[in-house]
Amino acid sequence: MTEAAVHLDAQPRIDTLVTGFPAGDQKLRTDYAGVAWLGDQPDAESGIMGPEYRRRPVESRLFLPDTHWYDVDALDDVEVQVTGGLLQIPATAQQTQGLVGSLAEPVVEFFEHPEGEPGVGICLWLRGDIFSNVGLTYRVTVLAPRGALLRTGDAAAEPAGEPDSI
């Protein structure tokens, strides 16, 4: 059970066709990246997250917003890599730096489509206990046979507003 809200903000997905070594076979490489906000999302203007400071369990399996849908029978030799990093530990209401608690390393799993469509998509599994609101960056790289892709996922939403000029 998750007592902390979890929101995924995806970055643009990168798809490339690569040649595997040493076999020379072509594979689809997909890089998914983004931020998982646990507990609260930062204020759009200040970037500061709310000061809620209490222990909250986190156990969330979330489909990546831009996941491709794969044929489960064609994923025998799929390779998956996942990394995560702590992005923000906001100050508490007492104006001290909040404790993180414990977050297990992120795990990636393939799950069936929630509405019964064919294929499996990528879920990011986050678990642990947090004491503050936390931002966790994630990067998932999938190297799959070309024939494993059933259909492409939606593109990640564009950030709101205009980019700052330099």
pLDDT digits (tens, 9 = 90+) for 20-41: 788 888 999 999 999 988 877 7
Element housing 77 (H / E): none
The whole-number average pLDDT for the span 109-126 is: 92
Which domain does 17 fall in, by range?
6-43+53-151
Q: Is the pLDDT of residue 93 over 80?
A: no
Peptide bond into 106 cis (omega under 30): no
Residue 161 lies in a domain: no
pLDDT at residue 92, rounded to an integer? 61
Q: Is the pLDDT of residue 54 over 80?
A: no
Please give the tally of structural domains in the chain: 1
122, 33 contact by CB (below 8 A) = no
pLDDT at residue 158, rounded to an integer? 45
8, 34 contact by CB (below 8 A) = yes
pLDDT at residue 161, rounded to an integer? 37
Residue 122 lies in a domain: yes
pLDDT at residue 88, rounded to an integer? 62
Q: Kindly list the distances between the CA atom of residue 98 and the CA atoms of 47, 49, 87, in Å, as whole numbers in the listed order.
A: 16, 11, 13
Residue 24 lies in a domain: yes
Residue 163 lies in a domain: no
- Among the listed residues 80, 69, 56, the one whose alpha carbon sits nearest the alpha carbon of residue 6: 56
- Among the listed residues 26, 12, 10, 23, the one whose alpha carbon sits nearest the alpha carbon of residue 149: 26
Residue 157 lies in a domain: no
Residue that has been written with the tokens 């509405």 in this structure:
115
pLDDT at residue 166, rounded to an integer? 34
Residue 121 lies in a domain: yes
Q: How confident is the model at residue 70 (pLDDT cuts 50, 70, 90)?
A: very high
By three-state DSSP, how is residue 147 classified? helix
Distance CA 54, CA 66 (A): 32
pLDDT at residue 156, rounded to an integer? 61
Residue 142 lies in a domain: yes
pLDDT at residue 159, rounded to an integer? 41
pLDDT at residue 66, rounded to an integer? 93
What type of residue is 135? G
